[in-house]
Structure 1
Amino acid sequence: MTHSASGSSIGRRSLLAGAGSVGAAAALAPVPASAAPRSADAAGAADAAGAAAVPAAGGGSGNASGNWPDPEPYGLADTRADLWPRDDNSFVLPLELRPRDEERGVVWMRDTYVNCFSVDGRPLYVATGTTRVPGLETASPWNDGIFVWTARSLRGPWKLADTTGIRPDAEKGKVWSPEFAGENRPGRTVVAPWQEYWHDDMFGKRANAWAPEVHYFRGRWYIVACMGDHSRLVGSFMLVSESGVEGPYRLVEGSLDKPFGDVVKGGPSFIEPGAYHHIDGSLYSEGDDAWLVLHNDLYAKFRDDMEDIVPATNLPRFEQQRYSPEPYLEGAYVFKHRGKYFLLHAAWDRASLDAYGSTRHAYEPGGAGRVQYQYDAVVAVADRFEGPYSRRWTAGVGAGHNNFFADAGGQLWATFFRNPNFGYWADPARIADAAVPGVVRLEWTGGPDGRIYVQRRRGRTAAD
């Protein structure tokens, strides 16, 4: 998560606990036809055509309808079709394919991250996310690390970062992996022992890198990411490049012995006691200062040398208005716009039937009759980084575990990936279009109480 003088970025990811009936979710909540996926070419053309009609994010309210009233009581999800990524406001990035991607024709990606930075006076777009290895359906129990793509325009062409001069025999674009442990040298650690591959009788090969973010801060490149549930230790770490965005990268001091933060309870039952730390690490920067943001309400300031956080444990918490009861949330991310701080989380909209037989959508813990439907982006706003934050609202349906960023022209965007594990996009009829590197245009509603939403259709009102 981040907003800095050279660009904006933030947040991300891992699997949410609990499964539901995909068929039941689809039956409970019909989906707008406009949410149907389309090809990257068609999406790119629609985006280019629509860009001229969209006011710049910093140049006005962006939508005459302003803020929409929230569903009541607090904690109900807003499922209106206007809050979906649609043909008129989103597209899938045409990232350069690796050999593993050619059969599918699009990069398989969760936790999509995209940002735009000013580097040497020119815009540079970066993209990354959680990917999988050939032969596996998901990014577990192991994957082969972190890939990065770059472009001069959001619409591309997107090319894999040129890592061939660093590792001529490795797959192009792979900037970090547990397999790089052999590059460790005294005083320079690329892969810590807790991040290395390991094996057991239950899963075989294990260790996976999740939810990477690329940041450009004070002229240096950083990657914040998470070792996933199948790693020896589960939690967030940070890398710093010794050259360009392609690397080579090494671990910062605070990631050498363990993940950032404290040991906490959580995660699947197969995680060993004491292994689970705070996940979904993100970086927020403002001026010459930077903070680490951790799952789901923790933060800590980085030391001036960016090698560790202060304090290292017992981290402070954001002040926010929680749901009652508070469900499991992910992907904490902070984005600053027009002097306001926006705190994002990923939350499962769970569908159920109320006492009158009507469909109820809510951000609540799992339970009998509650079916995972959409993995949403919920957002709150504050005047200070630490809070207090407002009540959360649904900013994007199915757009959870994302980041916000501004393109070179000032237009706001969010990423999305269509969660393939549960809910709407896990349906066998749609799974082929899940796990993609998507971006959706955003709008800011303006005024002192301005919100950020997925760009709604023009002329719509809360009653539509």
Structure 2
Amino acid sequence: MTTKDNAVPRRSLLAGAAGLGAAAALPTTTAQAAPASTPHAGPTRRRHPSNWPDPEPYGVADTRLDLWPREDNSFVLPLELRPRDKERGTVWMRDTYVNCFVVDGRPLYVATGTTRVPGLAAAAPWNDGIFIWTSRSLKGPWRLADTTRVRPGAEKGKVWSPEFVGENRPGRTVVAPWQEYWYDDRFGKRGEVWASEVHYFKGTWYIVACMGDHSLKVGSFVLVSEGGVEGPYRLVEGNLEKPFGDSFIGGPNFIEPGAYHHIDGGLYSEGDDAWLVLHNDLYAKFRDDMEDIVTTTNLPKFRQTPYTPEPYLEGAYVFQHGGKYYLVHAAWDRTSVNAYGSTRNAYDTGAAGRVQYQYDAIVAVSDHFEGPYSERWTLGVGAGHNNIFRDHRGDLWATFFRNPAAGYWSDPARVADAAVAGVVKLEWTGPADNRLYVKRRG
């Protein structure tokens, strides 16, 4: 999910007018780490904002408006529109991922995420693959990756898709059998890819992504480029037969037994080593050749401080800042009525009486990659399933997308402003507290 190298000053946002309009709808009351030798790689603030006391008991969500992406701290990326995007005027995107890398001595920003095909309201039961946008500046212009030399005549910016199965050759697999489209009587065409990330590690481009719930097998995989960020990409050896990790019972009831593996895969790198991060508590080191993970079954777990009870979490992501490791998850803030008749907001299970409110980014900190990690806190309200990156000036940002599936952003009055490629500026409370928050007011 993140890296300590190959990024602009230190890893699991923005378009002018569109972002401002959505922010105005709020109530009125979310990469990579740079090498040690990079200028600005260390903390850039001498005076740090204060740390907030945590709501009690542990597991209560912090809903203060200071933790929302707002017009004064965030924007929606002005991504180049594809033909399918022109009616909406913005790219429909979930699981937004943005990062900044140094390539040939210059900063290169990349953006990707989960998108949908024309005619479908969501990115399921099928979508048509992974798109990448690039820019030399966070504010743009953002252009679709130039894939015209890789696939002349094909849709620009699409770097991988189950459609590319015809490119398979002996010794070179682009699409594995378990990633191909398939059909059934319930859903018709099936097979979608989600939560893609782009990484530049030791001079090579990688994509980590997940085949979604309607696929033949559900789980995470890695693609490696044989060229630039535009590809062409092929599948690594460790995913020729299945996703990473073990299969287990999970996901919706329509998933075939044995088909569900660990989702939301990401990459964390430090020096010449890289690790796979899987939801919501697993990790594994990659082999030196990056073709597979060293341990393929019974993967080790991060040592965390869970809630009681522990809810369903998604989007596990690790990055390093200020000598500490941060583990981010996406969690639904669910509302319920407490014994006094007032509203309780908490990272709770989906038990009766719990209503999904916001899809938040929660985070914990540790001295070590594997943990133990501290108690979690709310990094950003509605900023779940994100990543954190440092721009070429050394400032920290997180992505967000405003989940349209349920909760606040699914309201008919707001859903038109949901599913966006958003970024929000972060602030660090310094080495004494080591907290990260969405940039607060004041």
The TM-score normalised by the length of structure 2 is 0.93
Match of 2:434 in 1: 450
Q: Give the drift of 1:177.
A: 0.1
Q: Does 1:133 align with 2:117?
A: yes
The alignment status of 1:255 with 2:239, answered yes or no, reads: yes
Q: What amino acid sits opposite 1:5 in the alignment?
A: D
CA distance, structure 2, for counterparts of residue 264 and residue 169 of structure 1: 41
1:367, distance to aligned residue in structure 2 (A):
1.4
Alignment of 1:39 onto 2:31: no
Question: How is 1:371-450 mapped onto 2 (pairs within 5 angstroms)?
Answer: 371-450=355-434
Which residue of 269, 279, 282 corresponds with 2:263?
279
Corresponding residue of 1:350: 334
Q: Which amino acid aligns with 2:211?
A: M
Task: Give matches, 1:79-158, under 5 Å.
Answer: 79-158=63-142
Q: What's the counterpart of residue 27 of structure 2?
A: none
Check 1:339–1:457 CA distance in 2 against 1; reply closer, same or farther (3 A cut): same
Look up the SS of the partner of 2:334 in the other structure: strand
1:225 aligned residue: 209
Which residue pairs with 1:267 in the alignment?
Answer: 251
Q: CA deviation at 1:243?
A: 0.5
Structure-1 residue corresponding to 2:282:
298
| Alignment root-mean-square deviation, CA | 1.8
Maintained 8 Å contact 2:4/2:11 = no
Counterpart Cα distance in 1 of 2:399 and 2:42: 16
> What amino acid maps onto 1:7 in structure 2?
A
Which secondary structure state, in structure 2, belongs to the residue aligned with residue 100 of structure 1?
A: helix
Deviations 1:422-446 (A, max 9, x none): 0000000000000000000000000
Deviation at 1:327, TM superposition (A): 0.1
Taking only the aligned residue pairs, the percentage that are identical comes to 76
1:40: how far off? Answer: 3.6
**DSSP 3-state at the match of 1:179:** helix
Could you tell me how far apart the structure 2 residues matched to 1:427 and 1:61 are? 42
Give 1:310 shift: 1.1
- Quote how far apart the aligned CAs of 1:448 are: 3.0
Tell me the equivalent position of 1:311: 295
Give the 5 Å matches for 1:161-176.
Answer: 161-176=145-160
TM-score by length of 1: 0.89
CA distance in 1, matches of 2:184, 2:359: 32
Matched residue, 2:177: 193
The answer to whether the 8 A contact 2:16-2:77 is kept is no
User: Counterpart of 2:111 in 1: which secondary structure?
Assistant: strand
Unaligned runs of 5+ in 1: 12-36, 47-54, 459-464
- Quote the offset at 1:355 in angstroms: 1.0
Given the alignment of the two structures, is residue 203 of structure 1 paired with residue 187 of structure 2, yes or no? yes
Cα deviation for residue 168 of structure 1 reads: 1.1
Q: Residues of 2 paired with 1:400 and 1:42: CA distance?
A: 20
Alpha-carbon shift at residue 5 of structure 1 (Å) = 1.3
Give SS of 1:39's match.
helix
Q: Is the 8 A contact 1:349 1:374 kept in 2?
A: yes
User: Cα 1:38–1:115, aligned 2, differ >3 Å: closer, same or farther?
Assistant: closer
Contact 1:56 1:62 in 2 (8 A): no
* Residues 10 and 338 of structure 1, relative CA distance in 2, 3 Å threshold: closer
Provide the secondary structure at the position in 2 that maps to 1:180.
Answer: helix
Secondary structure at the aligned position of 2:3 is classed as strand
Matched residue type, 1:319: R
SS of residue in 2 equivalent to 1:321: coil
| Equivalent pair of 1:10/1:213 in contact (CA under 8 Å) | no
Measured after TM superposition, the shift of residue 43 of structure 1 is 8.1
Tell me the SS of whatever aligns to 2:163.
helix
Supply the AA of the counterpart residue of 1:210.
W
Work out the CA distance in 2 between the residues paired with 1:450 and 1:162: 40
CA-CA distance at 1:91 after TM superposition:
0.1
**Aligned-residue offset at 1:146:** 0.1
Residue 60, structure 1, aligned to residue 49, structure 2: no
Question: Cα offset for 1:447?
Answer: 2.1
Q: Partner letter of residue 132 of structure 1?
A: R
Once the two structures are TM-superposed, the CA of residue 194 in structure 1 deviates from its matched residue by 0.1
Is the contact between residue 97 and residue 105 of structure 1 (CA under 8 Å) also seen in structure 2? yes
Which amino acid counterpart does residue 452 of structure 1 have in structure 2? L
CA contact (8 A) 1:43 1:90 kept: no
Post-superposition offset of 1:156: 0.2
Deviation at 1:57, TM superposition (A): 8.1
CA distance in 1: counterparts of 2:423 and 2:21, whole angstroms: 10
Taking a change above 3 Å as real, the CA distance of residues 274 and 10 of structure 1, as seen in their structure-2 partners, is farther
Q: Which runs of 4+ in 1 moved over 6 A?
A: none
Distance 1:444 1:57, change over 3 A: farther
Distance 1:224 1:98, change over 3 A: same
Mapped contact 2:330–2:385 kept (Cα < 8 A)? yes
Partner of 2:5: 5
- Cα distance change of structure 1 residues 62 and 227 upon mapping to structure 2, 3 Å threshold: farther
Q: Which amino acid aligns with 2:4?
A: S
CA distance in 2, matches of 1:437, 1:255: 28
Q: Residue 141 of structure 1: CA displacement?
A: 0.3
Matches for 1:363-378 after TM superposition, within 5 Å: 363-378=347-362
The corresponding residue for 2:37 is none
Deviation string, structure 1 residues 319-361 (Cα, Å, up to 9, x no partner)? 0000000000000000100100000000000011111111100
1:56 CA displacement: 10
2:16/2:78 contact within 8 Å kept: no
After TM superposition, give the deviation of residue 60 of structure 1 in Å. 2.0
Which residue matches 2:32? none
Rate the CA distance shift 1:235–1:320 in 2: closer, same or farther, 3 A. Answer: same
Match of 2:36 in 1: none
